[in-house]
Amino acid sequence: MKTLWKGAVSFGLVNIPVSMYVATENKDLKFNYLHQKCMAPINYKKVCSKCDQEVKPEEIVKGYEFQKGSYIIMNEEDFARIPQENTKTIDILDFVKLEQVDPIYFDKSYYLEPSSGGDKAYTLIVEAMKNTGKIAIAKIMIRSKQSLAALRVKDEHLVMETIFYPDEIRSPASLSTGVGIDKLHENELKMAVDLIENLSIDFDPARYEDEYRQALWELIEAKIAGQEYVSPTPEPQGGKVVDLMEALKASVQMTEAKKTKPAAKKKAGTGKRAKTGT
């Protein structure tokens, strides 16, 4: 993995030198836009909306639109005047319980690895956080942007998640919350609870896969190999409105049967991504 950032975790009077790595990757299949006439890739150029001319990088400045059509220009000297202390430090502010942090706050995940000389202090904070069951709330500067972050322990490693500030979370106050609870029948609620209980298991991320991405990849492989491929299955047409109570009852019965039936073993070789043919 490529090192994204190097610095230190500030833990009271203890500084723990660490290296930071991106913990996740987007595996969406990416496509290029081509010119249908000659099949060459399309280039994208920065063109001025007024002059209709291509603009070179050195001719571009940053402007903040404070009202429609009016901008404040910010240059590098302006940004340099803003205090940016501890640009190489993850400053721990508080320790809290993980369940107290709503998942809506989490943004991106990073691994923190101990750098030279920081092994013992790194192990110390990992063990201390495990013993207390707490996570750390900290501040960090990444690429000239100050972020709030949460540090937690995963598989004996420190994982840092950048988290949104409170004013970055949109309020759902204007959204509908459905019907009032008085509109629900007692048996409907009981059936819904039973359905949730029947579908409840210990979380195992290995159970889930991106079926659409896998199907898309198989289609691409078939095209590469010059084979015929199956057309997408048409979407089901709208049918009659199903009674909520009947749907819940059927779902509960279905999940109860599935829960008592022993899980069939997967055939060897299934579930794996096929290798690309040429």
Full DSSP string of the chain: ----EEEEEEETTEEEEEEEEE-----PPP---B-TTT-PBPP---B-TTT-SB--GGG--EEEEEETTEEEEE-HHHHHTS--TTTTEEEEEEEEEGGGS-GGGEEEEEEEEE-TT-HHHHHHHHHHHHHHTEEEEEEEEETTEEEEEEEEEETTEEEEEEE--GGGSPP-TTS---S-GGGS-HHHHHHHHHHHHHT-----GGG---HHHHHHHHHHHHHHHT---PPPPPPPPP-PPPPHHHHHHHHHHHHHHHHHSPPPPPPTTTTPPPPPP-
pTM: 0.72
The pLDDT, as a whole number, for residue 275 is 45
The pLDDT, as a whole number, for residue 159 is 97
* pLDDT per residue rounded down to tens, the chain (278 residues): 889 899 999 888 888 999 999 999 988 888 888 888 888 888 888 999 888 999 998 999 999 998 898 999 998 888 778 776 657 899 999 999 999 999 999 999 999 999 998 999 999 999 999 999 999 999 998 877 889 999 999 999 999 999 999 999 999 999 998 888 888 888 988 999 999 999 999 989 899 888 888 888 888 888 778 765 444 455 556 555 567 777 778 878 887 777 766 555 444 444 444 444 43
The pLDDT, as a whole number, for residue 80 is 78
The pLDDT, as a whole number, for residue 255 is 78
The pLDDT, as a whole number, for residue 115 is 93
In order of their start, the domains of the chain are 5-26+82-167 (2.40.290.10), 182-199+246-260 (no CATH)
